[in-house]
Amino acid sequence: MDQSVAIQETLAEGEYCVLAVQGVLCEGDSRQSRLLGLVRHRPRHGSQEHALFLYTHRRMAITGDDVSLDQIVPVSRDFTLEEVSPDGELYILGSDVTVQLDTAEFRLVLQLPFGSHTRMFLHEVARACPGFDPATPDPEFLWLSRYRCTGPEPEQPQPLGWDAAPETGPRRSGIGGGRYPSRNGRWRLEEARPRGRAHVCLGAGPRRGAASDWRRWRAGAGRPGAGRGDAGRCGRRDEELREAGREMSAAAGSRERDCAGVSDFDDSRSDKKGLLGDPASSWGQDTPDSLLTRQNKSKSEITDMVRSSTITVTDKAHILSMQKFGLRDTIVKSRLVQEEEDYTYIQNFRFFVGTYNVNGQSPKEGLQPWLSHGIQAPDVYCVGFQELDLSKEAFFFHDTPKEEEWFKAVSEGLHPDAKYAKVKLIRLVGIMLLLYVKQEHAAHISEVEAETVGTGIMGRMGNKGGVAIRFQFHNTSICVVNSHLAAHTEEYERRNQDYKDICSRMQFCQVDPSLPPLTISKHDVILWLGDLNYRIEELDVETVKKLIEEKAFQTLYAYDQLKTQVAAKAVFEGFTEGELTFQPTYKYDTGSDDWDTSEKCRAPAWCDRVLWKGKNITQLSYQSHMALKTSDHKPVSSVFDIGVKVVNEERYRKTLEEIVRSLDKMENANIPSVSLSKREFCFQNVKYMQLQVQSFTIHNGQVPCQFEFINKPDEASYCKKWLNANPSRGFLLPDSAIEIELELFVNKTTATKLNSGEDKIEDILVLHLDRGKDYFLSVSGNYLPSCFGSPIHTLCYMREPILDLPLETIRELTLMPLQTEDDGIQLENPLGIPKELWMMVDYLYQNAVQQEDLFQQPGLRSEFEHIRDCLDTGMIETLSASNHSVAEALLLFLESLPEPVICFSTYHNCLECSGNYTASKQVISTLPTFHQNVFNYLMAFLRELLKKSAKNHLDENILASIFGSLLLRNPAGHQKLDMAEKKKAQEFIHLFLCNSP
């Protein structure tokens, strides 16, 4: 989730949050969560200035109300930021990044999560440093004066001079410098950067400008007015935010990335040492105080020792330069991948894979019976949880204390015969995944990335979905996925869709930003665990229990939904699951081994599963653990021997030498040339939110080449917004080929102009070869207009279904200004509200007023497409879909409106009177007639739903939260992102839900 919008809301005019990252402030044994924002200020006259803003927070920062300013660090000439690695701690590639921030006045140590987002943040900080040019005036930071604390300043640490002795701090390794040849074919280009004390810093320099009198900024009684004169926000909830600041921030929120493309080869491999240059030249010595600190660590903290940030090829080599690999390097890496069998051998390692749905409970018993009893000490632990926290706070704000509780329980339950290092923790609401390795294997773990995909309502909410960690173990790429799919016996299609969404949307950015992201399928080994929620069908509860009592598990397995869906190739194609020799793991009465005795009396089912895909994998055990009774599920474990490719150094060196020699002979011999299997693409009958894909193949000639789709002159992207090429860039060896998919998808941002005819399904793509020529591809087609993306007043004037109208009529009505209806111009007798809106609301009123979790559980994509077609053709009598699918279609309809129900022009008026019902009604009365009708109609419907809250479990707060951001939206082109306004929008809707007209 982008937390920079929350920071932006706290800033003044002219200040902009470039990027934000979650971190942990380390002060001795103290660990306090902080949100870091790089803030840019551009004065009217002069160059831009930057500062780091540090905020306390009590949950995932969604709005400005969730954060409180704690410190400000101007990025001045004496500002340095360098990576450190406390002596004695185990080093591991892919661990969290520890950075030390120094100015002339003080020092901070921060831990940042490993990954591409942190890389980008550090890169932006590097760019923000003023530099060493004496001709450049010193930054003055006058704009920071508004944030100065009015109370007495805290006692300051001793200033750290430019020549301060390095031995007083932790060992360090500056970002940058050196040419490093990895054994797997990665090189660092020499960087000409200033050096100091055997390491390179970000923006270090001996000069001190006007900022030298700045002290460490601490929020006292409250910060002075911050932006737009909003002094009332000073010190907002400071005390409670600080009290909650001790949480560890291991990827607590959802981070979703819009990337496209696939990887054709795995090139990001590192040397087992993972160091740039000689570590002895840059490491310092520990003070007695720091040694004492480590001696006093608790067991769980020792288990979580993997907190090093020595520069690694896999993570830090491109932080500063962000340069693309040269063609020669790319060829070498590709050839090394092709010839990998010549210099690697297979070695087995023991993997433990476990999954546990904990039903929102805290740990009440030790986890040793699940994690370590009766097995040899595994080399790798992959431990997944679902339903970590079922509270509304966790659902809406992604924050939960139970993350730390279960993390500690796992750390204490690991096998006692070995020492383990935590590699990564990733969580999305209640879905959490932990990865541990034996400490002796830590040096061989690299390229660690973690991602999340929410598959809840409107494809965004994280109550269902998946989290994943990918990493390189020696020379084998491994991806571990933990998922919680849709519930209820009849929802197997929804589960299938969740699985496909996770596969398509889970993408891991690579170290080289010029390479396309990796998908789950692009790994040598895939381990998939979780509460997949597939049930036993066609049998009644008593029959199921009887078969379990007889231990007739194979007879029962014949009715397992997952078995049926895998056989139909609907999900998990190519995956394997071991034989189920244990009784179903769901549903039990909490605290016992008794089957569910609640009113619903759920039938037992194997909801909790472990599957795998890849070569050289042997399953040694697959079992449930009845001893644990905390939840209504039983935990499941599977132990594997997995063959991992380990490098033979001598063979590797010989292979590399042969590749380089052959490359020398052919380099620059010819100009690259390719042939395309197809150059013209016609997409027929494109529909709203329905993906169409066409593909073509690039066949390479005798010369290695890099290809990329490039922008046409005066255009910001290589294609229009509704089109995407996957992959959009890549590399081809001689006589090789690659398939490119052109994906066409119309959504709310592009539908309106296609409806009006302002845009058409027409585009030209330019495929460019490095050192070669350009190839042109033609894209054409036709779009079927839809009520989705059409203005409210346009739909009111369409008495016929939109697909029954001539295109010219649709164009005229879509382009008709909103004010026409109030100008006395009547094209013909209009409808009071759009008929499509009435169809959906009436369907829900007739069928769904008592539906549990309405507007909170997603529907099926296939059913949405059916609903859309029924609305666009007017064939409402054929509408047949689940209540959740119709409810989600209604939300998508409101989201797609180019002008929201409450018009942009009245947006600020609504916020100003959000606490006054009379004034709010007055604002609604000023809306255009059609918009006013729609608003009143929706409020009446929602009030009817609330009358049935005992059945549907809805309340005013839930509905106000869901509909507030849909009915009230920031005006188009609104430059100041004030996300706190979201809360006022919800309060505005809340008034109408609680008061009858």
The residues facing 352 across adjacent strands are 381, 639
Q: What is the pLDDT of residues 248-286, one digit of tens each?
A: 233 333 333 333 333 333 333 333 332 222 333 333 333
Alpha-carbon span 498 to 486, nearest angstrom: 7
* pLDDT given for residue 329 in this prediction: 74
β-pairing, 420-428 with 171-173?
unpaired
Please indicate whether residue 345 or residue 31 has the higher confidence score (pLDDT).
345
Q: What is the pLDDT of residues 578-588, one digit of tens each?
A: 999 999 999 99
Alpha-carbon span 860 to 493, nearest angstrom: 7
Q: State in Å, rounded, how far the first CA of the chain is from the last one.
A: 38
Q: Under CATH, which architecture does the 900-996 domain have?
A: Orthogonal Bundle (1.10)
Within 13 A of 178's CA, how many CA atoms are on the CB side? Answer: 22
In the three-class reduction of DSSP (H, G, I as helix; E, B as strand; rest coil), residue 891 is classed as: helix
CB 296 within 8 A of CB 29: yes
Decide if pLDDT at 196 tops 50: no
CB 432 within 8 A of CB 482: yes
pLDDT band at 115 (very low <50, low <70, confident <90, very high): low
Q: What is the pLDDT of residues 621-679, one digit of tens each?
A: 999 999 999 999 999 999 999 999 999 989 998 998 888 887 776 655 578 889 999 99
The 705-710 sheet, strands edge to edge? 680-686, 774-783, 762-769, 705-710, 729-732
pLDDT band at 86 (very low <50, low <70, confident <90, very high): low
Considering the domain 3-130 in this protein, what is its CATH number? 2.30.29.110
**Shortest CA distance to 405 belongs to which of 363, 357, 365, 361?**
363
Residue 143's contacts (CB-CB under 8 Å, 6 or more residues apart) are: 12, 14, 15, 41, 43, 49
Residue 178's contacts (CB-CB under 8 Å, 6 or more residues apart) are: 188, 190, 191, 276, 277
Alpha-carbon span 16 to 794, nearest angstrom: 38
Q: What is the pLDDT of residues 935-954, one digit of tens each?
A: 999 999 999 999 999 999 89
CB 920 within 8 A of CB 991: yes
The 465-473 sheet, strands edge to edge? 445-454, 465-473, 476-484, 525-531, 608-614
In the three-class reduction of DSSP (H, G, I as helix; E, B as strand; rest coil), residue 110 is classed as: strand
Q: Tokens at residue 415, please? A: 């096998």
* pLDDT given for residue 557 in this prediction: 97
Alpha-carbon span 97 to 95, nearest angstrom: 6
Q: What is the pLDDT of residues 283-335, one digit of tens each?
A: 333 333 332 333 333 333 323 322 222 222 223 222 222 333 456 677 788 88
Alpha-carbon span 357 to 841, nearest angstrom: 36
674-783 adopts what CATH topology?
Answer: Immunoglobulin-like (2.60.40)
* Averaged pLDDT for residues 484-503: 93
Element holding 26 (H helix, E strand): strand 15-27
- 3-130 and 674-783 agree in CATH topology: no
* pLDDT given for residue 524 in this prediction: 97
Give percent above pLDDT 90 in the chain: 51
The pTM score is 0.65
Sign of CA dihedral 581, 587, 590, 592: negative
Tell me the one-letter amino acid at 398. H
* pLDDT given for residue 657 in this prediction: 87
Helix axes 917-925, 981-994, angle to 10 degrees: 90
* Averaged pLDDT for residues 902-928: 92
Q: Tokens at residue 932, please? A: 């006013």
Q: What are phi and psi of 525, to 5 degrees?
A: -130, 130
Yes or no: domain 342-649 corresponds to CATH 3.30.160.270: no
Length of the chain in residues, anyone? Answer: 997
* Averaged pLDDT for residues 202-222: 34
For the chain, the structural domain boundaries read 3-130, 342-649, 674-783, 900-996
Q: What is the pLDDT of residues 373-404, one digit of tens each?
A: 999 999 999 999 999 988 766 665 556 788 98
* pLDDT given for residue 46 in this prediction: 62
